[in-house]
Amino acid sequence: MFGEYIIEEGDYLFTLQNIINKKLNIEPGGTNRWNGDPFDATLDIVANYPTKASLNDLLGNNDDRKVVVHDRVTMTGRLMSPDVKYDIYLPNADESTRLSVSSAMTSSEELNKQFISLLTLNRFVLSTTGPG
Protein backbone atom coordinates (compact mmCIF):
# COMPACT_ATOMS: atom_id res chain seq x y z
CA MET A 1 0.00 0.00 0.00
CA PHE A 2 1.40 3.38 -1.03
CA GLY A 3 0.13 6.91 -0.64
CA GLU A 4 -1.00 9.58 1.76
CA TYR A 5 -4.37 10.16 3.37
CA ILE A 6 -5.04 13.70 4.60
CA ILE A 7 -7.65 13.85 7.33
CA GLU A 8 -10.42 16.41 6.98
CA GLU A 9 -12.46 15.34 10.00
CA GLY A 10 -12.88 12.46 12.37
CA ASP A 11 -12.69 11.39 15.97
CA TYR A 12 -10.42 9.38 18.21
CA LEU A 13 -11.59 7.39 21.23
CA PHE A 14 -9.13 8.09 24.05
CA THR A 15 -9.17 5.17 26.48
CA LEU A 16 -7.20 4.94 29.71
CA GLN A 17 -7.25 1.55 31.49
CA ASN A 18 -10.89 1.01 30.44
CA ILE A 19 -11.91 3.64 33.00
CA ILE A 20 -11.79 6.83 30.96
CA ASN A 21 -13.33 6.82 27.48
CA LYS A 22 -13.58 10.21 25.77
CA LYS A 23 -14.14 11.09 22.15
CA LEU A 24 -11.58 13.59 20.85
CA ASN A 25 -11.93 15.53 17.58
CA ILE A 26 -9.18 14.94 15.03
CA GLU A 27 -7.94 18.26 13.68
CA PRO A 28 -8.02 18.73 9.90
CA GLY A 29 -4.70 18.30 8.09
CA GLY A 30 -3.43 15.22 9.92
CA THR A 31 -1.91 12.50 7.75
CA ASN A 32 -1.46 8.75 7.39
CA ARG A 33 1.33 7.75 4.96
CA TRP A 34 2.01 4.31 3.55
CA ASN A 35 5.20 3.10 1.84
CA GLY A 36 4.41 -0.58 1.40
CA ASP A 37 3.27 -2.63 4.39
CA PRO A 38 -0.20 -1.35 5.45
CA PHE A 39 0.72 -1.93 9.12
CA ASP A 40 3.84 0.21 8.76
CA ALA A 41 2.05 3.50 8.11
CA THR A 42 3.37 6.78 9.50
CA LEU A 43 1.01 9.01 11.49
CA ASP A 44 0.95 12.74 12.11
CA ILE A 45 -2.34 13.42 13.89
CA VAL A 46 -3.58 15.90 16.49
CA ALA A 47 -6.84 15.25 18.33
CA ASN A 48 -8.42 17.48 20.95
CA TYR A 49 -11.08 17.47 23.60
CA PRO A 50 -12.57 20.98 23.85
CA THR A 51 -13.98 22.15 27.17
CA LYS A 52 -14.27 25.29 29.28
CA ALA A 53 -12.46 25.59 32.61
CA SER A 54 -11.49 28.20 35.17
CA LEU A 55 -7.76 28.87 35.50
CA ASN A 56 -8.18 29.68 39.20
CA ASP A 57 -7.09 26.28 40.61
CA LEU A 58 -4.08 26.13 38.35
CA LEU A 59 -2.91 29.73 38.66
CA GLY A 60 -4.43 30.85 41.96
CA ASN A 61 -5.61 34.09 40.34
CA ASN A 62 -9.05 34.23 42.07
CA ASP A 63 -10.69 34.56 38.67
CA ASP A 64 -13.47 32.00 38.18
CA ARG A 65 -14.23 32.93 34.57
CA LYS A 66 -14.11 29.91 32.31
CA VAL A 67 -11.91 29.88 29.22
CA VAL A 68 -11.87 27.52 26.25
CA VAL A 69 -9.32 24.76 26.82
CA HIS A 70 -8.25 22.04 24.40
CA ASP A 71 -6.85 18.83 25.85
CA ARG A 72 -4.66 17.69 22.94
CA VAL A 73 -3.11 14.38 21.98
CA THR A 74 -0.44 14.37 19.26
CA MET A 75 0.39 11.03 17.63
CA THR A 76 3.40 10.76 15.33
CA GLY A 77 5.57 7.96 14.03
CA ARG A 78 4.66 4.35 13.33
CA LEU A 79 1.01 3.28 13.21
CA MET A 80 1.52 0.27 15.50
CA SER A 81 3.71 2.12 18.06
CA PRO A 82 3.12 5.86 17.78
CA ASP A 83 4.86 8.53 19.82
CA VAL A 84 2.03 10.02 21.91
CA LYS A 85 2.30 13.44 23.55
CA TYR A 86 -0.23 15.27 25.70
CA ASP A 87 -0.72 19.02 25.69
CA ILE A 88 -3.11 21.62 27.03
CA TYR A 89 -3.83 24.52 24.69
CA LEU A 90 -5.89 27.67 25.18
CA PRO A 91 -6.90 28.66 21.63
CA ASN A 92 -8.50 32.01 22.53
CA ALA A 93 -6.04 33.13 25.22
CA ASP A 94 -3.30 35.71 24.86
CA GLU A 95 0.34 34.59 24.88
CA SER A 96 0.88 35.74 28.47
CA THR A 97 -1.96 33.52 29.75
CA ARG A 98 -0.71 30.57 27.69
CA LEU A 99 2.77 31.03 29.16
CA SER A 100 1.36 31.19 32.71
CA VAL A 101 -0.55 27.94 32.18
CA SER A 102 2.49 26.24 30.68
CA SER A 103 4.71 27.46 33.54
CA ALA A 104 2.28 26.09 36.14
CA MET A 105 2.81 22.59 34.78
CA THR A 106 6.51 22.16 35.49
CA SER A 107 6.68 18.38 35.16
CA SER A 108 5.24 15.73 32.89
CA GLU A 109 3.42 14.30 35.92
CA GLU A 110 1.70 17.65 36.54
CA LEU A 111 0.77 17.97 32.85
CA ASN A 112 -0.66 14.43 32.85
CA LYS A 113 -2.64 15.14 36.04
CA GLN A 114 -4.16 18.31 34.54
CA PHE A 115 -4.82 16.56 31.22
CA ILE A 116 -6.76 13.74 32.94
CA SER A 117 -8.59 16.21 35.20
CA LEU A 118 -9.80 18.20 32.19
CA LEU A 119 -10.97 14.99 30.47
CA THR A 120 -12.83 13.65 33.48
CA LEU A 121 -13.91 16.71 35.48
CA ASN A 122 -13.77 19.50 32.86
CA ARG A 123 -11.62 21.52 35.24
CA PHE A 124 -8.08 21.98 36.41
CA VAL A 125 -7.16 20.62 39.83
CA LEU A 126 -5.15 22.41 42.47
CA SER A 127 -1.58 22.53 41.27
CA THR A 128 0.94 20.68 43.47
CA THR A 129 3.64 23.10 42.36
CA GLY A 130 1.61 26.17 43.28
CA PRO A 131 0.78 29.19 41.12
CA GLY A 132 3.18 29.87 38.26
pLDDT by 10s per residue, the chain, length 132: 899 999 999 999 988 887 888 999 999 999 999 999 888 899 999 999 999 999 998 888 887 889 999 999 999 999 999 999 999 999 999 999 999 999 999 899 999 999 999 999 999 997 655 444
Any bridge partners for residue 46, and if so which?
74
pTM reported for the whole predicted model: 0.82
Tell me how many domains the chain contains.
Answer: 1
Q: Please count the other Cβ atoms lying within 10 Å of the Cβ belonging to residue 47.
A: 22
CA distance 31 to 26: 11
Residue at 45 is within a domain: yes
The residue segments making up the domain with residue 9 are: 2-121
Instruction: Note whether residue 126 is domain-resident.
Output: no
Structural domain includes residue 129 = no
Residue 127 lies in a domain: no
C-alpha distances in angstroms, 110 versus 11, 41, 50? 26, 32, 19
Please tell me the predicted confidence (pLDDT) of residue 38: 86
Residue 61 lies in a domain: yes
Assess if residue 130 is contained within a domain: no
CA distance 59 to 96: 12
Give me the pLDDT at residue 113, please: 93
